[in-house]
Structure 1
Amino acid sequence: MPAFFLAMLVLGLPLNLLSLWLFFHRLRRWTRSTVFLFNLTLADTSWLLALPFLINYHLEHLHWTLGWPLCTGVRMLYHNYFYLSIFFFTCISLDRYLAIVHPLRSLLLLGRRQTYLLCVAVWVVALVLSIPVASMTLIQTCPGSNRTVCTLYILLSETGESLPYSLVCSVIGFLLPLLSICYCGLRSVSGLRRRPDPHNKQRRLRRALSAALVLFALFYLPYHLSRNATIVMRTLYPDSPASWLHADMVFSMEMCFCSLITCVNPLLSCVMGRQFREEFHATFAVICPRCTGTSKRARVTARQRMSTVTPVTNFGFVREIT
């Protein structure tokens, strides 16, 4: 786990910091998708900045020396991040649905004020959903090794609180958003199929929407299944820790696998936002021309473009379909 988390930190933090820089300094116009993608990137960055504490904890052989408040904060942030990511992904799907299926009413249904309020509501709901983690996070001393452990509520032997809480979070924080994303995605793809597509733009967007739905299910469905299975095994076999071993191992692997989403989300921003994709490619071509195979002339053009673009400060909204 520490090696995997370190790899995510080294790979994901530069990508997300670059994304934040592009949001603040390169994008000339902010759409609804831009606002949602910015909040998603902000959530990714906050989680990546907390990873060094967990890396140190695992490298110290599960010996926590930073006190209960920081232990609680890291555990809440870990739990909070996944649902922030899920909720903002749902918002992006809703925005695509409104722009494709209801283009004329989309600005009235989800205008600038409603978009900002929705982002604030997502942060508040995700925080409230993570508050019970604080009461289930404990600092315990192992009698055999004298190690101080920062407990994870999922791995507690007492499941009277953890099992109902995990099931409620799975329904509110995953199942309902999954149904919403499926509905918005299928309606959007169906709407795009009925449009003329002489340049294959709609086909590319349909593929992007379908791939986003598959990735969402691939990342979060196994995580919630393994998390609930881990707690259920402790409920069914409270006096047999050996019975928990396989479920714990699968859940630990899913914790690592879900961390990959912090590296995938910047790519999602490139797919869903045309402005972001263009600025990202231009910036990356200047930073690492050999990686992109960019010619010298194209690099000069990218530098000229970066030097002439001035970010807009009023964040006016425009509709963006591709």
Structure 2
Amino acid sequence: MLQLLLSVYIFTFLMGVPANVLAFWTFCQKVRTRAAPIDVLLLNLTISDLIFLAFLPFKMKEASDNMAWVLPFPLCPFSGFVFYVTIYNSTLMLTAVGVERYLGVAYPLRYALCRRPRYAVVACVVIWAVTSINLSVVYIMPYAQWGHAQPPPTCYMEFTEAELRILLPLRLELFLVLFCIPFLICCFCYVNFILVLSRLPNISRRRRLRAIGLALGTLVVFAVCFGPYNASHVVGFVHFESQEWRNVALLSSTLNACLDPFIFYFSSAAVRSMMKRCFKNVAAKMHILKCG
């Protein structure tokens, strides 16, 4: 299992960093020139993924040390807090993107009157605040375990019965508030998004199919990436224990940092244009090297 964890972490890091850096640069340019709410939301999703990837090496080190925590212990609560906050940021950011798309298609004229980038900025600030408050237990619990004795040998993995009485209901709340509700909102928005698009006569078939594919793909990514880990919260609450397979279930959420750039590619013409330029430049340099 440890080899699987380490392999997925390394793969996610190597694939996710360049793709998200490229998306970050593109959205920064777009926001500076002509910002739209969708660009602000996708920029914040990219930032969240990059922060997640920046802290992924701590998980790599943990897996390579047989899940023992050998780094300075204060890094345990801080890295864990940032790691899980960015995961749940993705669920809420993807939900906000779905709402923005639905409103833009279902109520184009009415939404155009109040379509301001600053509202997207406010939504992003609220999302960061909500996830940080809800995930504060990840930061507090390791310090409670540390106390005045020696630091525990693992990081946020082994809990007493008293700690589980606090932790398991909070995890259930994460499942309901930060996964179930956002997923239901996404389903409502994208299903209606598809229905509205299918009835619009002035959209080309190619554009309609791309938008529908993006909507369905986003829902699949949401369910597959975040479903297994959040399901472990429910199972743990029912059985009153922290499930051993939580780290394996977390792998699908980890891979989300690689899948988000695909959503960026189909969501933004600016990202598609930037990627095409990058591929052309790489192909041109390879051709020069081959000819030389």
Q: Following TM superposition, by how much is the alpha carbon of 1:176 offset from its aligned partner in structure 2, in angstroms? A: 0.9
The 8 Å contact of residues 219 and 257 in structure 1, kept in 2 or not, is answered as yes
Q: Which of 1 and 2 has greater Rg? A: 1
Q: Alpha-carbon deviations, 1:271-291, whole Å to 9, x = none?
A: 111222222222233135699
User: Can you give the 5+ residue segments of structure 2 that lack an aligned partner in the other structure?
Assistant: none
- Aligned residue type for 1:278: S
Aligned pairs (5 A) from 1:122-271: 122-138=127-143, 148-152=153-157, 155-158=158-161, 159-196=164-201, 197-235=203-241, 247-249=243-245, 251-271=246-266
Bigger CA drift: 17-26 or 98-107? 17-26
Normalising by structure 2, report the TM-score.
0.86
Structure 1 counterpart SS, 2:154: strand
Structure 2 counterpart SS, 1:62: coil
CA RMSD of aligned residues (A): 2.5
The alignment status of 1:67 with 2:63, answered yes or no, reads: no
Structure in which a larger fraction of residues adopt helix:
2
The 8 Å contact of residues 92 and 182 in structure 2, kept in 1 or not, is answered as yes
Query: How many residues of Structure 1 are paired with residues of Structure 2 in the alignment?
Result: 276
1:113 paired residue among 108, 112, 118: 118
The alignment status of 1:77 with 2:82, answered yes or no, reads: yes
User: Partners in 2 of 1:213 and 1:14 — Cα distance?
Assistant: 24
User: Can you give the 5+ residue segments of structure 1 that lack an aligned partner in the other structure?
Assistant: 141-145, 236-243, 297-322
The 8 Å contact of residues 228 and 252 in structure 2, kept in 1 or not, is answered as no
Normalising by structure 1, report the TM-score.
0.78
Q: Alpha-carbon deviations, 1:2-45, whole Å to 9, x = none?
A: 22211211111111112212223477533211111110010000
The 8 Å contact of residues 220 and 258 in structure 1, kept in 2 or not, is answered as yes
1:39 paired residue among 40, 44, 60: 44
1:283 paired residue among 278, 283, 287: 278
The 8 Å contact of residues 22 and 280 in structure 1, kept in 2 or not, is answered as no
Bigger CA drift: 19-28 or 103-112? 19-28
